[in-house]
Structure 1
């Protein structure tokens, strides 16, 4: 009989077939993720878990599996030191007890975490400098002459001892001349060190295979069987669809609205079967149904592309095979297809007046189901091949161009050129359209024969449009669509299997040997961390020595404070800053912040209406004082900073906040403050210098001349050590451009060039190694030493970085402060305060005070000690002194004035416009993925349509010839117009995130931003329309008349323009790119329906005719067709009689040549209207949730 405890444990950890198990719960607990286990992860636009929690989710995703070898890269980013220790300690137990292997890279590991490791691998410049037991690493470096000083973390020492800038400070033999030891020389020395020799002996000895366990290597590629893999992926896809249900509900509602529009425009009382021409209206109605169902699948592109990064990661870790990921995306969409198509067919079929036989009703339903499945599979396949939103949308638009033109409706089969006939036969849309018209026009309602004809009218309609008249073509269409659905889904699986993410590239950083002099400022600044500790200004020393008020000092008078502020200002000027500034303090008293209770927590039984995140926090931040805002993950650090800086977009804020004694007003506060966000949001296509120039241009006073502004920017670049990178493109995080550490410094610099008095920095060292963090903190320290008020949230600082701060505001879980005051020399004030609390463990010699502080104040320690640290603080002398200080600083100094500016923004409206336009110019010029692909696409479509409609422009003999020529214009308007609209949406969406940051910083108002976004498109669209226009005009063979050529270019230009501006407007009015794509597809369908090509304007029922006048595409077609053919007096054959082209256009389409002036005015009005709506929407709506 097995041991009962072991039996229970083994049953609990059994994973197969279970959604939750003991291992999952255990990992959630050790990672501290229990509190957010039921919270969505979120992204830049969707509020979810915190940045540190996301990093732990990444770690947990690997830990819950059965892997015995773990490779963990930078798992501590965004975590506090106690959580990092807890995770690594769990890894140590896993390795030692379960005989596993773990290789972990850490940024800024605290000493206690470093001491958990058995072996150390030290890399530098692609050389292994040391690999072996942790206990011998210092011995190795001491044998070469380098020694780790006291109160210096060994991990920090190891990262710096190989650096040219930092190595000299560790040279032990001061009586001997120092020479830089390269990584290669260290590596060679290690080979002769006793650890290196032993390692070489082990590697030189052949492994004894008899010692290996038979289960050491797995024989299976995946953790569970194929059926379990499929079920797991199916369950996740269902969960994602349920969480994203708004998109699918929106699509169904959208198709319902489209169906109601269609059924009322093709209303049966208005539809007749008296002639072939009127039969063409039915053909248009059927074609429109195919188009709506096709376009409804295009939303798959954005959804698939957005999920690909996660897929590629999980595919690489062998979570599942690609087929197990792809099949659920297909299978679970089938029921949605049945619902969407049912809504369309049930609403439209009998109201429009199609053949009443029930069999034909369900046959139409079947065809449209297959069309939707084929389209969704096609767009999934295109997304998997494109792998980038812009590229995928380009591929998708190009595919639609061919399918659309080769459907048999735009260009009839008998007029397709022989070199394009293959496109007709491979177009799945052709098979769908042929099956639809075949099903309808071979029905009983179309059996009667017209006078002077031998065939039924249904057959006559099919012949006139070039469709097949045999009934078996319906079933050929069914078979073809099934085949294409299988083919595209199979292609989707192949693309997921064999294609990798698009290549990443980073900025090439100069070799250290070449750039150190620039980056570090020469030999005078070789010591990175020592610089932070020892090169403080006299002011900073006064803070530590208690000469300037802090939470632990006695209050002083307002006049004393003014004298000190004046002294600090003079001191800042002595540091050589080109521009003076006015120092300001900020106080906050009993600040609270709450949000509506999340639905997930309500579901778990929570009854409160509000979730309180900050519970009465008080404190003061002063000029020349560097304050650390710390606490465990989720304590409310970023929340407090967002509240104080005015960046919260929702929730409920309470308490008092003052600036130098006056109530805070956000409009004026934004002018004198800066906020360095954790996410480092910047425009990706400008350089470092241009980013700073742009910020300074808009945020500095107009009284500062350009030369002084440039000198100030140069000074800031020197201050933050960005001078060597001034011409580097910023790029997208993790994709291209600057590294994480360089982005952090750029974020700081962008705020510094605004010359702010108060700066908030959210985790400026998160994601950086110890040396990069030291560079950033040196930048922060330099900033404080100019006399500014600086507040930083920070997670796991080393001793050196932690003690570079002057004061600390420590929060506990739940948003309550437990320490607010100065650190003191070597953190003496902090240590004495907590060691004075009964039961708190004393700090060990050499231990990091930041780590100790978090360990002794966590919630489990509170339970063990039976105390509440927040209550202890509230009853302390320190709290009372802080309250006195807050009260004093909340009173305006005598003779001071409240912040006042004559305008909300630093620069005039016109200057804002010019600055925004300048940045947009460089952003577009350096974004070939958008600009070049757009020109390439429009040129390709021009050649495509030119060869398809070759020389059809002047060869007008029959009614169908005119329809074909009009089809070329109709295709261009929709295909290139829609491509412009779709392509601009991701570009505007990326820039909108930057816009939210820049507007919150008070750089400009919404209208200059909108102005620049609109104006920059004008020349690009002009070149696009001219290139397209001349190619198509020449190849199709329209009449070479100066007036007609100019009219053609005019209408094409404004058509492409209003489509582009519509795309911008769609993004500005919707929360994300997915929704804007879906909304846009609905508008495209309505515009298509009312364009005048599918249903001529005179045939539109009177209750819908108003919209035909409000439809921009209808006006474009009116202008293009009327300007080319509205004055032709040659006769053409129609189904009714022979008449002139001019009369036919007037009678059938309602197009009049003498109305062209008004048509031109309306075409100009649409882009202006869309641009105005874009500007208003970008001003009124803020979809960023903070």
Structure 2
């Protein structure tokens, strides 16, 4: 079995605070999300971050995982082997998000293999990386479904528990020193959730440090954790061994009045719910269950303040020091942790080729779906029948309307396919870039070029149907020139869609803007309006429909007449240059928009 070097990692966090700025209509205020959180987790331990919704546990997890380390609203210290966070740590940290962000049409084996090729050290060969993916499949018990696609909302695939194990496999494939998980049991049944937590135990026992948020675990799950951080309204209510938490709260006068799950009892405390909880004698006159909302809220605040103060005053400093006592570390290990150098698992070209292959495998299902093929073939057939063997010997028989429709159809179609590209992949891009799986430039080039061979198939099928049915100019030369012109139009239109999608990153807004833009370009395309007022004539030259239409007219009627329907046929060089400029210009705009997104810094 292939082994990957893994170093022990001690995570300590002391007096951590975090604030967010809330801007209102008339004023701006700061809201405290975390208030002085302190704790420590060592190799071989599983630390659970618990608390009700809105208590700050996911914020704390992101902060400890280095995802909020550059925020100006962050206070306190977080150290890894007694050193601050550095970019080199990304290659030693695994972070499993709450939502399983995976490509639906890739199989389990393909998903893990691509992760291995991109994330494992460049010192390993391709065969060794592939072998590591197979090993992880076996470790996670995914052999039965390794050739099954992941699936999604509209695509049937593996089960929810298997999806979660694949998400964890994506992270443990690099044999991380630190593994963070956000609600790994969310949405799973109790048996599947128990298997996931048992797997986390096994991962920790292998020498890794595991930190996970968990909302309301069953009693069986709760007893699997080594340490516990309990948060209430952003404050620390308890940090210590999970097995000692009930004894601690009993010592400060808080006991369950009913036999209940310890996790349920702790969440009641964190929420300020005292219905089934005994309260200390000093609080009996201050807190009691009332009917009014204001009275209930006041009771919760008083009880929460009592728990915070109790932890600060009654937990001996000696005990806190014992929990936070650092383990002596080799100086060489400290130097490795503090190294500022970012470590890529593959060269730029390797990243590009891997992402290119992954892109084709993932999107070929959408491109060649029966719905899309039927749409293209049906449209081509209808056009062929409407312009069946048109007589081109006279001006009345010219297929100018058909050529304009081709220019519009293959301008409209790619735009509304491409605008969803980056908004739909934003979650994947954010997750993978946060882990430094690849450079943004490699992803962008692979994403935009992997569509090109797929984009060529349907237009060829379209033209094979409509070209000969409509009786367009016969000959290999005119046919291939028509094909090249349509392909240029597609790539230019696709660039516009990518630019709109990347700049807005919102599907509704992008669709609205694209609709207005495409309609404007179509109207200025040279078929409906021949004389455009001077002050808006520039729109025509920005329209890929206009340039495509002129090129198609040139290919079909260059030797018959110099002007068709008010559109002059010239050399075509200007139109080709304009389309090529759009191909690169729109893509450059899309790339700049992605760079400006606050995903994660990186070249």
- From 402, 423, 429, the equivalent of 1:989 is 423
How far the C-alpha of 1:596 sits from its partner, in A, is 2.8
- From 154, 168, 171, the equivalent of 1:748 is 168
CA distance in 1, matches of 2:73, 2:154: 35
Alignment of 1:103-142 (within 5 A): none
| Closer, same or farther: CA 700–1073 of 1 in aligned 2, 3 Å | same
Question: Which position in structure 2 is the counterpart of 1:946?
Answer: 384
Q: SS at the partner of 2:566?
A: helix
| Closer, same or farther: CA 1050–830 of 1 in aligned 2, 3 Å | same
Q: SS at the partner of 1:675?
A: strand
- From 248, 272, 280, the equivalent of 1:859 is 272
Question: Which position in structure 2 is the counterpart of 1:907?
Answer: 346
CA contact (8 A) 1:596 1:651 kept: no
Question: 1:749-788 CA distances to partner (integer Å, 9 max, x unpaired)?
Answer: 1111122111111111122222111211121111111111
CA contact (8 A) 1:638 1:762 kept: yes
Bigger shift: residues 583-592 or 941-950: 583-592
- From 85, 104, 118, the equivalent of 1:698 is 118
Question: Which position in structure 2 is the counterpart of 1:830?
Answer: 245
CA distance in 2, matches of 1:686, 1:790: 28
CA distance in 2, matches of 1:1061, 1:927: 19
CA distance in 2, matches of 1:650, 1:902: 20
CA contact (8 A) 1:674 1:759 kept: yes
Question: Which position in structure 2 is the counterpart of 1:848?
Answer: 261
Question: Which position in structure 2 is the counterpart of 1:1165?
Answer: 581
Gaps of 5+ in 1: 1-575, 1129-1140
How far the C-alpha of 1:658 sits from its partner, in A, is 1.9
| Closer, same or farther: CA 731–904 of 1 in aligned 2, 3 Å | same
1:816 and 2:235 matched: yes
Question: 1:930-962 CA distances to partner (integer Å, 9 max, x unpaired)?
Answer: 65433332222211111112223x52423x544
Question: Which position in structure 1 is the counterpart of 2:592?
Answer: 1176
CA distance in 2, matches of 1:851, 1:756: 32
CA distance in 2, matches of 1:1171, 1:631: 45
| Closer, same or farther: CA 931–1060 of 1 in aligned 2, 3 Å | farther
CA contact (8 A) 1:662 1:892 kept: no
- From 365, 371, 388, the equivalent of 1:933 is 371
CA distance in 1, matches of 2:366, 2:378: 19
Q: SS at the partner of 2:392?
A: coil
Q: State the TM-score, normalizing by the size of structure 2.
A: 0.87
How far the C-alpha of 1:790 sits from its partner, in A, is 0.5
Question: Which position in structure 1 is the counterpart of 2:45?
Answer: 625
How far the C-alpha of 1:822 sits from its partner, in A, is 1.7
| Closer, same or farther: CA 904–1061 of 1 in aligned 2, 3 Å | farther
Higher normalized helix content (fraction of residues): 1
CA distance in 1, matches of 2:23, 2:213: 26
1:664 and 2:85 matched: yes
1:1120 and 2:552 matched: yes
| Closer, same or farther: CA 1113–1183 of 1 in aligned 2, 3 Å | farther
How far the C-alpha of 1:1055 sits from its partner, in A, is 1.0
| Closer, same or farther: CA 695–851 of 1 in aligned 2, 3 Å | same
How far the C-alpha of 1:830 sits from its partner, in A, is 1.9
Question: Which position in structure 2 is the counterpart of 1:638?
Answer: 58
CA distance in 1, matches of 2:369, 2:499: 19
Q: SS at the partner of 1:875?
A: helix
How far the C-alpha of 1:1113 sits from its partner, in A, is 1.9
Alignment of 1:381-460 (within 5 A): none
CA contact (8 A) 1:585 1:620 kept: yes
Q: SS at the partner of 1:944?
A: helix
Question: 1:179-212 CA distances to partner (integer Å, 9 max, x unpaired)?
Answer: xxxxxxxxxxxxxxxxxxxxxxxxxxxxxxxxxx
Q: State the TM-score, normalizing by the size of structure 1.
A: 0.46
CA contact (8 A) 1:762 1:793 kept: yes
1:584 and 2:3 matched: no
How far the C-alpha of 1:808 sits from its partner, in A, is 0.7
Question: Which position in structure 2 is the counterpart of 1:254?
Answer: none
Alignment of 1:1128-1167 (within 5 A): 1128=560, 1141-1142=561-562, 1144-1145=563-564, 1148-1152=566-570, 1155-1167=571-583
Question: Which position in structure 1 is the counterpart of 2:143?
Answer: 723
CA distance in 1, matches of 2:204, 2:84: 24
| Closer, same or farther: CA 1183–908 of 1 in aligned 2, 3 Å | closer
- From 1048, 1073, 1079, the equivalent of 2:507 is 1073
CA contact (8 A) 2:423 2:505 kept: no
- From 179, 182, 185, the equivalent of 1:762 is 182
Question: Which position in structure 2 is the counterpart of 1:673?
Answer: 93
Question: Which position in structure 2 is the counterpart of 1:789?
Answer: 209
CA contact (8 A) 2:418 2:494 kept: yes
CA distance in 1, matches of 2:105, 2:419: 16
Larger relative contact order, structure 1 or 2 (CA cutoff 8 Å, min sep 6): 2
| Closer, same or farther: CA 886–664 of 1 in aligned 2, 3 Å | farther
- From 1052, 1059, 1063, the equivalent of 2:493 is 1059
| Closer, same or farther: CA 984–784 of 1 in aligned 2, 3 Å | same
How far the C-alpha of 1:815 sits from its partner, in A, is 0.6
| Closer, same or farther: CA 734–981 of 1 in aligned 2, 3 Å | closer
Question: 1:704-731 CA distances to partner (integer Å, 9 max, x unpaired)?
Answer: 1233323322222222221211111101
1:975 and 2:400 matched: no
| Closer, same or farther: CA 1091–908 of 1 in aligned 2, 3 Å | same
How far the C-alpha of 1:669 sits from its partner, in A, is 2.8
Question: 1:562-600 CA distances to partner (integer Å, 9 max, x unpaired)?
Answer: xxxxxxxxxxxxxx772221122222222222223265x
CA distance in 1, matches of 2:31, 2:200: 34
| Closer, same or farther: CA 1011–608 of 1 in aligned 2, 3 Å | closer
CA distance in 2, matches of 1:735, 1:1120: 40
- From 632, 652, 655, the equivalent of 2:76 is 655
Question: Which position in structure 2 is the counterpart of 1:77?
Answer: none
Q: SS at the partner of 1:592?
A: strand
CA distance in 2, matches of 1:939, 1:1105: 35
RMSD, aligned α-carbons: 2.8
Q: SS at the partner of 1:1026?
A: helix
CA distance in 2, matches of 1:879, 1:946: 85
CA distance in 2, matches of 1:1127, 1:887: 88
| Closer, same or farther: CA 878–764 of 1 in aligned 2, 3 Å | farther
Q: SS at the partner of 1:624?
A: coil
Question: Which position in structure 1 is the counterpart of 2:469?
Answer: 1035
CA contact (8 A) 1:589 1:886 kept: no
Question: Which position in structure 1 is the counterpart of 2:453?
Answer: 1019
CA contact (8 A) 1:873 1:879 kept: no
How far the C-alpha of 1:647 sits from its partner, in A, is 3.6
Q: SS at the partner of 1:1028?
A: helix
CA contact (8 A) 2:18 2:32 kept: yes
CA contact (8 A) 1:763 1:794 kept: yes
Q: SS at the partner of 2:43?
A: coil
| Closer, same or farther: CA 1117–878 of 1 in aligned 2, 3 Å | farther
Alignment of 1:565-580 (within 5 A): 578-580=3-5
CA distance in 2, matches of 1:1100, 1:940: 34
Higher normalized strand content (fraction of residues): 2
| Closer, same or farther: CA 697–988 of 1 in aligned 2, 3 Å | same
| Closer, same or farther: CA 577–818 of 1 in aligned 2, 3 Å | farther
How many residue pairs match? The answer is 572
Q: SS at the partner of 2:91?
A: helix
How far the C-alpha of 1:691 sits from its partner, in A, is 0.9
How far the C-alpha of 1:1064 sits from its partner, in A, is 2.5
